[in-house]
Copies of this chain bind each other. A is one copy, B any other.
Amino acid sequence: VASGALGPGAEFDAIRGMLDRWGPRAKGIGDDAAILDVPRGDRLVVSVDTAVDRRHFRREWLSAREIGYRAVTAALSDLAAMAARPLGILTAITVPLGLRDVLSDLADGIGDAAGACGAPIVGGNLSGGDELSITTTVLGSCYAPIERRGARPGDRLYVTGRLGAPALAIARLTSGVEPGAVRNRFARPTSRIGEAIWLADAGASAAIDISDGLAADARHLASASGVSIVIDARDIPCFDGADAATAIASGEEYELLVALRGAVDADTFAARFGIPLTLIGSVEPRGSELVEIRGADMPPGAGYDHFSS
């Protein structure tokens, strides 16, 4: 932990304040670096993700606690995409002078996400700056991580959960409409850690988490695997109120898109995790398009804002 420019005492006071809030969810903080043990035989899996004010979140849409929770959950979702079990979390926060009062709530949200995945906060950094941002490093481990590049022609393509709620929430918040039930799905997403481990055990050949939108992430998967992907829009599980076009373009879902070689028992999955596992397409030899979406009137390149516009 530490270093930075919050000023004398203030930095350590703020860190102590966060540690108090985290209680047993923080572990071993206070040395130059954290020490962890990777289970014997496992490989280490690590990812980093940054959330910047007004780029990745809006303070008028989300509470500080939700912002902290989402920042960590987005990073954990990258571990889920590899079917890794979380070992520890590091949180590097840059906070402007005028926003220091959000640190407690931000810390609570970070603690919520750590508690939800069962991995401790093992380190971090607190720094002054002109712009609020949270950079989260997640460490996990796995005997055989699922990679993006493992999809092969003949694999079936599944998606977890129901898609579209974050896009609906953003559209409603943007136009000043009360978002209703989709707000919670947007503000409190879930990283599909347990689901990913189950899918790995069921023989998943490739996976990616849906952060940029189903169409965009299917392209990433197809590109990395050297295949094409065919999705039937009519099979996409949509959140209440979302149509297929919305579900296909909706980002920050943190659901998993998974290629599986054999058959999988979706009923057992649904009973275990309380969300559907839906067959939405197939993996084909590389064709002229990386991703073909059938049964919907939409451009095949449709994706999340950042990438499609």
Q: Which of A19-37 contact B (CB under 8 A)?
A: 30-37
The answer to whether A52 and B128 touch (CB under 8 A), given A31-B224, A46-B90, A148-B32, is yes
Nearest B residue (CB) for A145:
B35
Task: State the copy count for this chain.
Answer: 2
* Complex Cα gap A7–B307 (Å): 6
A147 at the interface (CB under 8 A from B): yes
Contact indicator B32/A123 (Cβ below 8 Å)? no
Contact indicator A32/B82 (Cβ below 8 Å)? yes
Nearest B residue (CB) for A30:
B224
Nearest B residue (CB) for A37:
B43
A34 CB contacts on chain B under 8 angstroms: 45-47
- List of 9 A-B pairs having minimum Cβ-Cβ separation, nearest first: A33-B47, A32-B81, A5-B55, A32-B78, A135-B135, A36-B44, A52-B129, A137-B137, A131-B131
A contact residues vs B (CB 8 Å cutoff): 3-5, 7-9, 11, 30-38, 40, 43-50, 52, 55-56, 74, 77-79, 81-82, 84, 87-88, 90, 92, 94, 122-125, 127-131, 133, 135, 137-140, 145, 147-149, 208-209, 211-212, 224, 306-309
